[in-house]
Structure 1
Amino acid sequence: MKPIGVAVALSLALMLLNGCRESDEAAQASVSAAPQVAIVTLAPQSVGIAQTWPARVIALRTAQIRPQVGGIVTARLFSQGSEVSAGQPLFQIDPAPFKADVEMAEAALSRAEASFRQLNLRSQRLSKLEGTGAISRQDYDDARANAAQAAAGVAEAKAALNRKKLDLAYSTVRAPVSGRIDQQYVTEGALVSAADSQAMAIVQQTDKVYVDARLPASEVRPLLDGQKSGAALTLTLLDDSGQPYDVKTHLLFSGASVSDETGDVVLRTEAENPRHLLMPGMFVRVKITRHLSDSGIVIPEQAIQHQDGKTFVWTLDENSRAQRVQVHLNGQTASGQVVGSGLLAGQKLVVEGQEKLQDGTDVQAKPWKSGA
């Protein structure tokens, strides 16, 4: 081959090599220019929205033990901090004055009954003579009136006796309700009266307790709407560390009015308390979980974008091209936001890297790792 031909062939070969190299570099540059994103494939799951509010424990019943008669306390008949039953004697007030009053009332009743018998017999005798002319009509009428007054005296004496017996019974101060009794506030030898402002002791029924939470009025409606729509509500009581109490609870009611001062509504829960773990005055947290669906879609918070009052996310189609989708959210769970509409199971959702995307952009996708 002539030297000129060889040179031409070498030149052509070099041009071909350079063209291939440039084509490969362009392809690599195109790939490297595609935005990198992290994605998750949406899968249906059981969805529930949980909310917690601070609350306070209140005894089911609280009874202040107060005397209904006055006198000197002679004995305390209970152990402080123990369980008492309704009707159980708690304090003894000196009964001697009341026993004396009962005896006096019994004597007054006997005297009134004797007077009634005498006057009633006179009235009966005069009634037989009233038509004979042996007595005047006035004498007969007076006898009948005296007998009626004596009968009224008997009734009055009986009422007085019953009242004195009631005072005697009240000298033994009894528990009005069953529950746990707190410390005593009066001791033996103390003088008490029915007008005292200080209670002798306090009994609280705590085998069941109320738990009152105060929450904004705007947060009550979703709970009530959920109940009306048949959504299951699960109530849990949590301690300071977030651990649940092993007690059964159920929602009683929400308040019918809103506080003028705070704008809050009372949400009352009743809790079984057989082991008395919940004590009146204790602060706890009420957690209410609203079950929404057995096959809902939950997306990470990082995937959500807001613009002009609307909510958007980015998804990938079957060709790994980005698509912007408007969604509607139904609330927040511990793992993310609940999707009401706009997404379906099986779609690929962009969680990271969406700030570089435009509709139709080719992307490089990799699996998203939560917490990475």
Structure 2
Amino acid sequence: MFHQYLPSRRKVGRIILPLAAVFVLASCSDKPADGGAPGGMKVPVSVITVEPSRAEMFADLPGRVEAIRDAQIRARVTGIVTGIHFEQGSDVKEGQLLFTIDPAPYKAARDQAAAMLKQAQADAGAARTLSKRYETLIKANAVSRQDYDNAVARTAQADAAIASAKAALQAADIDLGYTKITSPIDGRIGKSLVTEGALVSASSATQLATVQQLDRVYVDSMRSTAELAQLRKAIADGTLKQAGDGAAQAQALMDGGELYAEPGRLLFSGVSVDPTTGQVVLRSEFPNPDKILLPGMYVRVRLQQGIDEKALMVPQQALQRTADGRSSLMLVKDGKVAVSPVLTGPSMNGKVVVTSGLQAGDAVIVEGFQKIRPGAPVQPMPWKADGAQQQPKPDQPQGGEQPAGQAG
């Protein structure tokens, strides 16, 4: 009689089908609704807790190197170049002989001027003797007053002729001296723009070479008037404090990003604004003992702005770039990832100053971006700058936020 209590096949099917549907729904409910780790597990990420700190503020501006003194060596007389007396690209001293122009015609002109001076001196001697003789005779009424006056006038004319001859001789000496071209400054000379046998002209001032002083150089950079106004406002309202004694210092960054070894100083900020760009020139001076900075080279100038006593800084690697090129940070709020658009300021020592979009006490994700997305639950852990990551303890609760370390 046992078989009387067994359900029929139709009844069994009616029981099994609802149970299968229940199991399917239960298995679907096990999947995380937020796209996190299976079973609701939280992805471990490294974070820092942002705290205000003291930071020196800098501005990086594009700059161009200029020689402090740039002497163009040009011909001041016309003639044939007969000698080049320097090694191209070498250092030269002030007064060092660089070029020689054929002096023969200028020697002849100088000799002619000297002869004219002697003739003028001889004429003046005769006129002076005659004037003295007439001075004696006029007292005895032996000569007329007109003859005496003419003798005195000829003496004065002879003296003027001597002065003119001396000036002509001096001009001839100057032209003869110009046939030997010397360096006007200490510096490094570039390539020779002429060769021996070339004809150079005084009227067109033919350029022969260039000597540049390179032991110290200028670096000119540009800054907008709007940025200068913001800087003055920040210092005026106390957001920034003037660094040191107010003397602005400068540093140069080379093409590869390395810092130039010699510090410089800001000489002046332009007193006029370029009407086409709305910018002013800032000139800095740098020592250049090893001749690393060369005229025409482009560098970046880092100018000291002031000190921010409450700067919020994050490691460079914490910054994320959006599709439109803006910066953002991933924060941990209520145990989940939240994206915060930010505005950044200068970078220093691997950190970036965040000027907007971040508050003191925020937990910023620094490592572990590969497996997270906005809204995903995460397990925050203190970040260590050396890359070592503290693993969560087994008895730690998976929900909630762990205490985050501060940036090193």
Taking structure 1 as the reference length, what is the TM-score of the superposition?
0.72
Q: Among residues 295, 302, 327, which one is paired with 1:280 in the alignment?
A: 295
- Give the corresponding residue for 2:143: 135
User: Residues of 2 paired with 1:148 and 1:348: CA distance?
Assistant: 97
Shift in alpha-carbon separation, 1:124–1:226, aligned structure 2, 3 A = farther
- Give the corresponding residue for 1:88: 96
- Give the corresponding residue for 2:310: 296
Shift in alpha-carbon separation, 1:59–1:226, aligned structure 2, 3 A = farther
Q: Among residues 180, 183, 192, which one is paired with 1:175 in the alignment?
A: 183
Offset from partner CA, 1:229-282 (integer Å, 9 cap, x none): 632444210111110111231101122222222222211111110110001111
User: Residues of 1 paired with 2:101 and 2:295: CA distance?
Assistant: 29
User: Residues of 2 paired with 1:236 and 1:268: CA distance?
Assistant: 12
- Give the corresponding residue for 2:384: none
Shift in alpha-carbon separation, 1:224–1:236, aligned structure 2, 3 A = farther
Q: Among residues 113, 118, 132, which one is paired with 1:110 in the alignment?
A: 118
Unpaired runs of 5+ residues, structure 2, are 1-39, 320-330, 335-342, 366-372, 377-398
Q: Among residues 199, 203, 211, which one is paired with 1:195 in the alignment?
A: 203
User: Residues of 2 paired with 1:153 and 1:217: CA distance?
Assistant: 63
Q: How does 1:203-214 map to 2 (within 5 A)?
A: 203-214=211-222
Shift in alpha-carbon separation, 1:162–1:290, aligned structure 2, 3 A = same
User: Residues of 1 paired with 2:266 and 2:300: CA distance?
Assistant: 14
Say whether the 8 Å CA contact 1:38–1:366 is kept in structure 2.
no
Say whether the 8 Å CA contact 2:272–2:280 is kept in structure 1.
yes
Matched letter for residue 209 of structure 1: V
User: Residues of 2 paired with 1:227 and 1:247: CA distance?
Assistant: 27
Shift in alpha-carbon separation, 1:39–1:145, aligned structure 2, 3 A = same
Q: Are residues 1:236 and 2:251 paired? A: yes
Deviates more, 1:273-282 or 1:80-89: 80-89
Shift in alpha-carbon separation, 1:112–1:332, aligned structure 2, 3 A = closer
User: Residues of 2 paired with 1:204 and 1:125: CA distance?
Assistant: 64
User: Residues of 2 paired with 1:57 and 1:191: CA distance?
Assistant: 34
Say whether the 8 Å CA contact 2:218–2:285 is kept in structure 1.
yes
Q: How does 1:31-110 map to 2 (within 5 A)?
A: 43=51, 45-110=53-118
Instruction: Indicate the percent of aligned positions where both proteins have the same amino acid.
Output: 39
Unpaired runs of 5+ residues, structure 1, are 1-31, 304-313, 321-328, 357-362
- Give the corresponding residue for 2:171: 163
Name the count of aligned residue pairs: 305
RMSD over aligned CA atoms reads: 3.5
Q: Are residues 1:266 and 2:281 paired? A: yes
Q: How does 1:343-354 map to 2 (within 5 A)?
A: 348-351=361-364
Taking structure 2 as the reference length, what is the TM-score of the superposition?
0.66
User: Residues of 1 paired with 2:48 and 2:189: CA distance?
Assistant: 59
Q: Are residues 1:364 and 2:364 paired? A: no
Say whether the 8 Å CA contact 1:180–1:205 is kept in structure 2.
yes
User: Residues of 2 paired with 1:225 and 1:111: CA distance?
Assistant: 77
Offset from partner CA, 1:151-192 (integer Å, 9 cap, x none): 111111111001101111111011122211000011111111
Shift in alpha-carbon separation, 1:58–1:349, aligned structure 2, 3 A = same
Shift in alpha-carbon separation, 1:239–1:112, aligned structure 2, 3 A = same
Shift in alpha-carbon separation, 1:190–1:224, aligned structure 2, 3 A = farther
User: Residues of 2 paired with 1:279 and 1:234: CA distance?
Assistant: 20
Say whether the 8 Å CA contact 1:38–1:367 is kept in structure 2.
no
User: Residues of 1 paired with 2:197 and 2:160: CA distance?
Assistant: 41
Shift in alpha-carbon separation, 1:367–1:39, aligned structure 2, 3 A = farther
Residue 355 of structure 1 deviates from its aligned partner by: 8.7
User: Residues of 2 paired with 1:152 and 1:40: CA distance?
Assistant: 92
User: Residues of 2 paired with 1:68 and 1:146: CA distance?
Assistant: 38
Q: Among residues 265, 268, 271, which one is paired with 1:250 in the alignment?
A: 265
